Amino acid sequence: MQSDKIVGASDAFLVIDDTGLPKKGDHSVGVAPLGTRVNCQTLVSLTLARDEVPVPVGLRLFLPERWTSDQDRMAKAGVPEKMRLSRTKPEIALAEIDRLCQCRVNFPQKWALPQFRCKLGSDYT
């Protein structure tokens, strides 16, 4: 991976976070209510960072239960079959970490989890 050449080193950090993308409608894949008036898609992101250089190395869409429980909705929206499963944000992050390890990305066991939301029992778990 090119990111390893740029920021991969023993003093790098792997930053794991989730990001909400506000949406107006309810047809975008994975969209769910965020509060009472706004919908959003949620992404799990992994960024390799060293000094002042951040490099995104993973970005995956989180599908809330209201999506994964409706196979027809996912088919209609074009969600690939292999992605039509219920996974928590921590499970998505771990799968991405495994992928980075398989790609031999050089990062130490230093983690940053800024505001990573993992509320049990919510659509955003």
For 17-54, write each residue's pLDDT tens digit: 888 888 877 777 888 877 667 788 889 999 888 777 78
The reply to whether 105 falls in a domain is: yes
The reply to whether 58 falls in a domain is: yes
Q: Which domain holds residue 43?
A: 2-112
The reply to whether 80 falls in a domain is: yes
Whole-number average pLDDT of the chain: 78
The reply to whether 63 falls in a domain is: yes
The reply to whether 121 falls in a domain is: no
Whether residue 79 is predicted with pLDDT greater than 90 in this model: the reply is yes
The reply to whether 124 falls in a domain is: no
Report the C-alpha gap between 81 and 75 in whole angstroms. Answer: 8
| % of the chain beyond a pLDDT of 90 | 23
The reply to whether 91 falls in a domain is: yes
Total of domains in the chain: 1
To the question of pTM greater than 0.85 for the whole model, the response is: no
The reply to whether 46 falls in a domain is: yes
What is the bridge-based pairing of β-strands 111-112 and 13-23?
A: parallel
Residues listed for the chain? 125
